[in-house]
Amino acid sequence: MNEFSHLRTVVGMLVALALSNLATSIHHLLRERHRVRWDWLAPCTALIATLLILHFWFNYYDFGRRAALLSRLGPVLLLLLELLQVVLLACSSLPDGASELDLRRYYADQSRYFWLVASSYLVGTMAWNFFLTQPMGILARLGLLAPNLMMLVVFLALAVVRHRRMHEVLVPLVCVVYLVSFFDLGLG
């Protein structure tokens, strides 16, 4: 049994915790659907959180192919930090229970936090990609990081700029970009 196998249990539990939090929040909102003031941006961030959790899951299997890295403390700490971030994304995308029934206000209050956590997740993903790629020139390496760098700029803009119209344009765009990017992913 290698390091990847030992970490698989922790990763599985925390990914399940993140998805469970999302499912519980959705359940509470649907149970209180007659009292909820619905707004589409908060459920879109829940979709983005789900897609980033899946993104982490697929990247994790890529990490497993390089199990030698997981025998060092630095990469394991980065992996655990990425896990914490996907749990925080799931927890911040929708209100817990029936604590907040106005989704427009909830998104306005929580969006900065959500997008900053999403930004830090992307920075960690770029660090992983930097460590996991084969030795190559800096321009080639930056070319591999370019899609995440562009998304990082969008996430930071969403964290900093509070203008709702910008969020109404960029949030669905982020959803579409991530949905399209998942068509070619695989675990093998």
At 98-151, the pLDDT tens digits run 667 899 999 999 999 999 999 999 998 888 777 666 667 777 777 778 888 999
165/96 Cα distance (integer angstroms): 26
Between 187 and 58, name the one with better pLDDT: 58
Averaged confidence pLDDT in the chain = 86
Q: Where are the alpha helices (DSSP H) in the chain?
A: 3-31, 41-64, 73-93, 103-132, 138-160, 164-181
Domain ranges of the chain: 3-184
On whether the CB atoms of residues 129 and 60 are closer than 8 A, the answer is no
On whether the CB atoms of residues 79 and 7 are closer than 8 A, the answer is yes
Q: Where are the alpha helices (DSSP H) in 33-93?
A: 41-64, 73-93
71/64 Cα distance (integer angstroms): 11
Quick check: helix, strand or coil at residue 102? strand
User: Which tokens in the block code for residue 186?
Assistant: 């695989």
pLDDT band at 65 (very low <50, low <70, confident <90, very high): low
On whether the CB atoms of residues 38 and 108 are closer than 8 A, the answer is no
137/143 Cα distance (integer angstroms): 10
On whether the CB atoms of residues 138 and 122 are closer than 8 A, the answer is no
pLDDT band at 19 (very low <50, low <70, confident <90, very high): very high
Q: Which residues pair with 102 in a beta bridge?
A: 37
Tell me what pLDDT residue 150 has. Answer: 94
Other beta carbons less than 10 A from residue 42's beta carbon: 25
Contacts of 62 (CB under 8 A, 6+ apart): 132
At residue 51's C-alpha, the angle toward residues 50 and 54, to 5°, is 90
167/162 Cα distance (integer angstroms): 8
Q: For the whole model, what pTM was predicted?
A: 0.88
Chain centre to alpha carbon of residue 27: 21
